[in-house]
Structure 1
Amino acid sequence: MTSPNILLRPVEERDLELLLAWRNSERIRANMYTDHIITWEEHRSWFERLTRDKESFAFIFEAEGRPLGVVNLNHMDRANNRCHWGFYLGETDAPKGSGTQMAYLALRHVFEELKLHKVIGEALAFNSASIAYHEKLGFSREGQLVEHVFRDGSYLDVICFALLSRDWPRVKASLEKKCL
């Protein structure tokens, strides 16, 4: 999956240390369902499960050969042609527009290569940046899961989003103007 100077490539063993550093940063952990410091053993187990799981994919987003972020596609449901996605830019100094480029490549993969009908996103209700990101990308709000995640002694709401394949041509054209 490539475009001019940007690409998504499968996560490899050589990426594990960088991914763990990103995931354990306070900036990333604060917006995840689980916010504990992930041990090397937990991280390694995740990678081993990922390599065996034919219904989950993790990609490194690179620009100019530099890893900047990660996209996960999981809960792949081939019977209903849908998946969930998760993402983050790990590098704090990623060039402006990197998040849009990363999303463009990931969504193009979902709709044009995997041929799925629907991609589902979720954000903790306090994560205004992720909510705005989904809306900017053309996702529709599908609902709110009330008190869905227990963290730090309290329950947190989750906002649910979706993008359908029928909306992809319009979204694709908009994203191409912004990032290519």
Structure 2
Amino acid sequence: MSVRLRLVEAADSARLLRWRNSAEVAAFMYSDHQISQAEHDRWFAAAIAASDRRYWIIEADGEPVGLANLARIDLSARKCEWAYYLGEPSTRGKGLGAGVEYIVLRHVFESRGLNKLWCEVLAGNEAVWKMHQSFGFVREALFRDHVLKDGRLQDVVGLGMLKSDWDAARPAIEARLRRLKGRGLAPEELPDAP
């Protein structure tokens, strides 16, 4: 299964609202209310126009399956944050997240030349923050009682990766992804083995 990212287009708007309002995605977002069409339209217009954000549709074998984004892109400080979700339940647990992570890391550190990428993950979403750590992210923070979800306060894990972390981790990550490629899953951007 090939994994690639493409820029979000106007035709993706309805799909994004459906994904974002699904229980499977909303469970891991900071807000858990049903997003109205008007609220979504305002967000979508701002997201497409913003210069400090980038949004991509995650595609698996050419089919849209999720959303990845960079936010708070700060070129002067050479840093940004990121997030992603898989909107199609049938794609979860199959290694797609690893492919997305690799593509984003290469984009941030190699194409954009940034020095730091960070993210925040609900502490209860252990599979995701552990996956980030397996790529070389370092746990930098625990934000206690940071988000109100389902009527209770929840902790958030803050993770960061520096360009030097990426440089050190990249060979092992690429070896791991080549093994996935042998099982039929890999990002299209995975270089050939040296």
Aligned counterpart for 1:110 among listed residues 101, 108, 111: 108
Give the match for residue 70 of structure 1: 67
Map 1:17-56; keep pairs closer than 5 Å: 17-56=14-53
Give the match for residue 152 of structure 1: 150
Q: Is the 8 A contact 2:24 2:89 kept in 1?
A: no
CA distance in 1, matches of 2:171, 2:150: 41
RCO higher in 1 or 2 (8 Å CA, sep ≥ 6)?
2
Shift in Å, 1:88: 0.9
Supply the RMSD in Å over aligned alpha carbons: 1.7
CA distance in 1, matches of 2:108, 2:151: 36
Larger deviation, residues 19-28 vs 163-172: 163-172
In the alignment, structure 2 segments of 5+ residues that lack a partner are: 178-185, 187-194
2:88 is the counterpart of 1:91: yes
CA distance in 1, matches of 2:127, 2:60: 22
SS in 1 for 2:90: coil
SS in 2 for 1:173: helix
CA distance in 1, matches of 2:63, 2:25: 19
CA distance in 1, matches of 2:57, 2:162: 24
Shift in Å, 1:166: 0.7
CA distance in 2, matches of 1:13, 1:138: 34
CA distance in 2, matches of 1:40, 1:177: 43
Alpha-carbon spacing, 1:97–1:46, altered in 2? closer, same or farther (3 Å): same
Shift in Å, 1:85: 0.6
Alpha-carbon spacing, 1:15–1:148, altered in 2? closer, same or farther (3 Å): same
Normalised by the length of structure 1, the TM-score is: 0.91
In the alignment, structure 1 segments of 5+ residues that lack a partner are: none
Normalised by the length of structure 2, the TM-score is: 0.84
Shift in Å, 1:5: 3.7
Residue identity (%):
38
